[in-house]
A and B are shown apart, each in its own frame.
Chain A
Amino acid sequence: MKVVPSVCCHDCGGSCPLNIYVEDGRITKIEARDVGLPAMRPCLRGLLYHYRVYAPDRLKYPMKRSGERGEGKFVRVSWDEALDEVAERITHIKDTYGPAAILNLGGSGPSGRFHSSAALSRFLNMAGGQTKYWNLRSQQGGLFASLATYGTINEGSDRADLLNSKMIILWGCNPAESIFGTETRWYLTQAKEKGIKIICVDPRFTDSAASWASSWVPIRPGTDAAMLVAMAYIILEQGLQSQHFLDTYTVGFDKFRDYVTGVEDGVAKTPEWAEGITGVPAETIKTLAWEYATTKPAAIIPGFAPGRTARGEQYHRAATTLSVMTGNIGIHGGATACLGTATTLSAMTGNIGIHDGATACLEENLSALPPREIEPPPSDHPDDFDLPVPPNPVEKDQPLHEYAVKGIYRHTVDKINFSKTWDAILRGKAGGYFSDIKMLYSVGGDSLNQSCEINRAVEAIKTLEFVVVHDHFMTPLARFADILLPATTWCERNDINFPWGFGHYALYANKAIEPFYESKNDLDIFTELAAKMGISGYNDKTEDEWLRLIAAKQGIPDYDAFKASGFYKLETLEPYVSFQNQIKDPGHYPFPTPSGKVEIFSQRIADFNRPDVLPPIPKYVEGWEGPTDPKREQYPLQLITTHSRKRTHSQFHNIPWYGQLEPHEVWVNPIDAKPRDIKDHDQVKVFNDRGVISIQAKLTNRIMPGVVNIYQGAWYEPDPSGLDRGGCVNVLTRGEHSPGGAFCSNTALVQVEKI
């Protein structure tokens, strides 16, 4: 029996140390690994990961489609046969239509820094190019707001700094289930016990609201910006703003003030105005605004969920502005109130290190990091990160995308917003897209199940000439593959992992077991493909050399010690807080924006010239399927698609124990259930113009009336009539994005009926 130090590599925002017990080459148990920090404990997903590794439905061999596409019929083939076909088809498609006909749908399912979907990007670029998507589904709204307002995504504070706050507002944020940084649960518990007032703003009474908050403010989805703007109104009316702070560190506050007070458009953004939009009583807004502005320091901790709405960028921009107005930036106990991703090892050591998918909208900002208070350890390789991805030949000399807001995003016209993937496939050049997509290549994710408007996706995928998928299971997307290749899990390979944005540490995933049956690492699959296609230099280093390179780039001083202990943390004298220099010494330390200040008014956004949908100051802008949409007559309920503790997105859905932990349900308030004659546990259908799902009802007061909640990630399972019996939320969400890029999975009107 051996005990292997490892780390759970999933896309939840955390990164948690585990001991993997292995006997006779098989994992027998997994335990929380003690790294001396109680804040570093794992959740239920990592602790029973062997259920997933050894699941009876795990893919064992390469397979080739034998029935109709999507029918789910496959025959086993040899690796050689499978890869010969992939190589041949890629070559044919590239030669016939050009490389832009190949769409890369790499996902972020494996969160390791080495074995990620960057392996696909690297391969396709070396093979001649590809069509890539832009849009980090999780947080594109926040990313936009952060880049526009602060000029960097390196903003935020250590979770430990929560203990320096006097008041914390968890806004659309549920780390009790979604994790959102391994340490978050620990420090919120400590903060509550220290007597720090915690408020939760959310359409649901979440486990986080129940566990940490002294009060819950239910709010209609997609209206958060209206409430924030009304809070700004009260702060201004009572003169509670930090005027010195605004004068010294910001630009454009006067324009925002004119909007808030009604000088701009004749509508004062009063709490009464916001009540009608948000459903939050005006008195509640007034009290919260007053408390927030008079309790110092105070931290708004925004979840990404309210940003995943039509016009979700405005929520992030408004929250940030409120934090700036009250002087809560760059100080202990405050918050940047936007992404909060400044505290990773990579960010603090100068290597931004974000998933490959994000690079499309970040390239320009990689160098725009704020000066750091902490001297980073020396890095030998400051220029690249993770598995290096060479430039995409397709995008060479292409002009910027229409949504590439100058100076904020720099992606070129060849890129598709993820929300428009299916539209792009269906309409192609004739529909104004850059290319006619003929082939889809998916690694590390189920971009069918986890996209929007799935019924349209199915239609689109059926038009393609060739589909290749690497995965662990016969996922909803894998069913549509022509060639389906079995991939390894993080237990079967060496890797390095660290959290999304919260915590300056890294963990080493030591390989615990040999690959399951014939499964292979994605990187090794592409190495073989590259050899078949005559591409040289694809994998020109050993695994150990690659990992040493990645560790060095993260500023990890002693790779061998790190591999042996499995844990490295950059120690800081005090909890890290971004922008401290900018606040202490603005003369020497400008913000990395064009004005050198926090841009409440952004000229870069103004230049986009679409004030109706993307105003240069934060505003409440009603998007589609909002409070006044006439569609409400037909579909009166707002759907939110949230994160369950029992899944990481679509992963773990098929593992029986996780499925049994709690049933997959639609949360309905009894007030909405009564007129529909729906009782607890009734089977209901949830539907709109985009599709219909069948699901069990959960009657609960934990959801506000007018809103229904379904956890995202359940697998799409349509019956012949088109009814999705799997209860996948994305049958109902819309394939459209906000102009700043935000993925709109929390904007959808639906109706619920008893079956």
Chain B
Amino acid sequence: MQIGFYFDQSRCIGCCACVAACRSWNQLDQEMPDLIQIVPQEGGEFPNVSLSYLFLSCFHCIEPACIPACPDRLLVKRAEDGIVVITDPEQCTGCQLCVEACPYGAPKVVTAGKVGIVMCNLCLDRLSEGKAPVCVTTCPTEALDVGTMEELIAKYGELRELEGFADYRKTNPPIIFQARNLEK
């Protein structure tokens, strides 16, 4: 089974509530990096301007580039749900090879205190209680969802590509998109 994200770009208003909720739930101190990034994509010239947002996180790729990149084999893809996790953060030497390998820059480097990386684990603690990840339950426009790939495709279709995101063929991230409707 593979659990993945759904991101509805037409609903994302760029508010970053997901970023804050993720930090709060994961009890990250202020020195720690954000696990989610909301990246504005501005285009056009006045007055024909466009603006949309990218949602970036660890997408728990089907063919992850980070796992083979780790010299200490600390990253593991769980067989039961496909979630990529760090098995033993204490052993991480902070070499950042996983960061370089990931097309989405998802592993985040910790610069304060113990060196290492942090990344989204899809709120495993919440999933085990039957609750959706905190980014999903926080988004004020319900632009995010998680589910098995079968569920996501059945609910939201099969769009795997979105302008601004790395080519999905590289690591096969389990994320389904809804593009921003640009028909004005």
In the bound complex, CA of A638 to CA of B17 (Å)? 31
Closest beta carbon of chain A to B126's beta carbon, Å: 10
Selecting from B18-26, B147-155, B169-177, the interface stretch reads B18-26
Q: A47 to B47, Cβ gap below 8 A?
A: no
Known: A30-B24, A701-B46. A186 touches B15 (CB 8 A): no
Is A41 within 8 A of B51, CB to CB? no
Q: Is A413 in the interface zone, CB < 8 Å from B?
A: no
**Are A702's CB and B49's CB within 8 A?**
yes
Which of A205-213, A394-402, A491-499, A603-611 lies at the binding interface?
A205-213
Stretch at the interface among A31-39, A429-437, A545-553, A615-623: A31-39
Bound together, the chains give a CA A165 to CA B46 distance in angstroms of 29
| Interface flag for A28 (CB, 8 Å) | yes
Residues of B within 8 Å of A645, CB to CB, are 14-16
Could you say which residues of chain A place their CB within 8 Å of the CB of B19?
44, 661
8 A Cβ contacts from A633-678 to B: 645, 655-657, 661, 669, 671
Interface string of B28-49 (1 = CB under 8 A from A): 0010000000000010111101
Neighbour of B51 across the interface among A50, A185, A671, A702, CB < 8 A: A702
- Report the Cα distance A604→B19, complex, angstroms: 51
Taken together as a complex, chains A and B put the C-alpha atoms of A331 and B94 apart, in Å, by 62
Is A214 an interface residue when CB atoms closer than 8 A count as contact?
yes
Rounded to whole Å, the gap between the CB of A670 and the closest CB of chain B is 8
B138 touching A32, Cβ below 8 Å: yes
User: Can you name the residue of chain A whose Cβ is closest to the Cβ of B139?
Assistant: A41
Chain B residues whose CB sits within 8 angstroms of the CB of A702 once the complex forms: 42, 49, 51
Smallest CB separation, B45 vs chain A (Å): 5
B11, B24, B42, B139: the one contacting A29 at CB < 8 Å is B24
User: Bound state CA distance, A742 and B109, in angstroms?
Assistant: 49
Q: A29-B24, A185-B141 are in contact. Are A205 and B51 (CB under 8 A)?
A: yes
Query: Nearest B residue to A42 by beta-carbon distance?
Result: B17
* Contact indicator A48/B20 (Cβ below 8 Å): yes
Is B27 in the interface zone, CB < 8 Å from A? yes
In-complex Cβ contact of B14 among A31, A207, A216 (8 A): A207
Asked if A189 and B11 sit within 8 Å, CB to CB, the answer is yes
- Distance A645 CA – B17 CA, assembled complex (angstroms): 10
Residues of B close to A32: CB separation below 8 A: 17, 21, 134, 137-138
> Could you say which residues of chain B place their CB within 8 Å of the CB of A703?
46
- The answer to whether the Cβ of A78 comes within 8 Å of any Cβ in the partner chain is no
Report B-chain residues with C-beta under 8 Å of the C-beta of A704. Answer: 46-47
Asked if A700 is an interface residue, CB under 8 A from chain B, the answer is yes
Give the size category of A's interface with B.
Answer: 35 or more
Distance from B8 Cβ to chain A, minimum over Cβ atoms (Å): 10
Q: Is the CB of A43 within 8 A of B23?
A: no
B13 touches A176 (CB 8 A): yes
A51 an interface residue at 8 Å Cβ cutoff?
A: yes
A218 interface residue per 8 A CB criterion = yes
B47 → chain A, closest Cβ, in Å?
A: 6
Q: Is A367 an interface residue (CB 8 A)?
A: no
A189 adjacent to B141 (CB under 8 Å): yes
The answer to the question of A705 belonging to the interface, with a C-beta cut-off of 8 Å to chain B, is: yes
Q: Which one of A28, A29, A211, A671 has the highest number of Cβ atoms from chain B below 10 Å of its Cβ? A: A211
CB–CB A657/B17 < 8 A: no
What B residues does A42 contact at CB under 8 A?
A: 17, 138, 140
Give the contacting residue for A661; candidates B16, B24, B141; CB below 8 A. Answer: B16
Check if A210 sits within 8 Å of B50, measured CB to CB.
yes
* Cα A33 to Cα B184 with chains together (Å): 35
Does residue B142 face the partner (Cβ distance < 8 Å to A)?
Answer: yes
The proximity string for A residues 701-745 relative to B, scoring 1 for CB distances below 8 Å and 0 otherwise, is 111110000000000000000000000000000000000000000
Measured in the bound complex, the distance between the Cα atoms of B49 and A176 in whole Å is 17
The yes or no answer to A215 lying at the interface (CB within 8 A) is: yes
Task: Answer yes or no: B52 CB below 8 A from chain A CBs.
Answer: yes
Residues of B within 8 A of A205 (CB): 49, 51
Which chain B residues (46-105) contact chain A, with CB distance < 8 Å?
46-47, 49-52
B56 to chain A, nearest CB (A): 15
Return B77 CB to nearest CB of chain A, in Å: 27
A207 touches B13 (CB 8 A): yes
CB of A47 within 8 A of CB of B11, answer: no
Cα A655 to Cα B23 in complex, Å, equals 14
- Min C-beta distance of B134 to chain A, whole Å: 6
Q: Which residue of A lies closest to B48 (CB)?
A: A701
- Residue A177 CB within 8 A of the other chain: yes
How many angstroms between the C-alpha atoms of A41 and B11 in the bound complex? 15
The residues of A that contact B137 with a CB separation of less than 8 Å are 31-32, 34
The digit string for A186-208, where 1 denotes a CB below 8 A from any CB of B, is 10010000000000000001011
Per a CB cutoff under 8 Å, which of B27, B42, B134 touches A700? B42
**Closest CB in chain B relative to A176 CB, distance in Å:** 4
Contact B30 A51 (CB under 8 A): yes
B141 touches A31 (CB 8 A): no
Partner of A701, one of B16, B23, B27, B44: B44
Which residues of A29-79 have CB atoms within 8 Å of chain B's CB atoms?
29-32, 34, 38, 41-45, 47-48, 50-51
Assess the B51–A28 pair: CB atoms within 8 A. no
* Residue among B20, B23, B137, B184 facing the most chain A CB atoms (10 A cut-off): B20
Contact (Cβ within 8 A) B16 A657: no
- Chain B nearest CB from A206 CB (Å) reads 9
Taking CB atoms, residues of chain A closer than 8 Å to B140 are 41-43, 185-186
Pairwise interchain contact A216-B49, C-beta atoms closer than 8 A? yes
In A537-588, the 8 Å CB interface with B consists of none
The contact of A48 among B24, B46, B142, by CB within 8 Å, is B24
Verify B44–A31 contact, CB threshold 8 A.
Answer: no
- Which of B17, B24, B184 is A43 in contact with, Cβ under 8 Å? B17
Which A residues from 154 to 178 make CB contacts under 8 A with B?
176-177
Q: Are A185 and B49 in contact (CB under 8 A)?
A: no
A176 to B141, CA, bound (A): 10
Whole-angstrom distance from the CB of B97 to the nearest CB of chain A? 26
How far, in Å, is A159 (CB) from chain B's closest CB?
Answer: 12
Assembled-state Cα–Cα distance A661/B19 (Å): 10
Which of A29, A34, A44, A656 is B25 in contact with, Cβ under 8 Å? A29
Q: Which residues of A contact B (CB under 8 A)?
A: 28-32, 34, 38, 41-45, 47-48, 50-51, 176-177, 185-186, 189, 205, 207-208, 210-211, 214-216, 218, 645, 655-657, 661, 669, 671, 700-705
Further 13 A-B residue pairs, CB within 8 A, beyond A30-B24, A205-B49: A31-B24, A34-B137, A47-B17, A185-B13, A186-B141, A189-B11, A189-B141, A210-B14, A210-B51, A211-B12, A216-B49, A703-B46, A704-B46
Q: List 14 A-B contacts (CB under 8 A).
A: A29-B25, A31-B21, A38-B142, A42-B138, A44-B15, A189-B141, A207-B15, A208-B13, A210-B51, A215-B184, A645-B14, A700-B42, A701-B45, A705-B46
Residues of chain B at the chain A interface (Cβ within 8 Å): 11-17, 19-21, 23-25, 27, 30, 42, 44-47, 49-52, 134, 137-142, 184
What are the 6 closest A-B residue pairs judged by CB atoms, nearest first? A44-B20, A210-B51, A47-B20, A41-B140, A176-B13, A211-B13
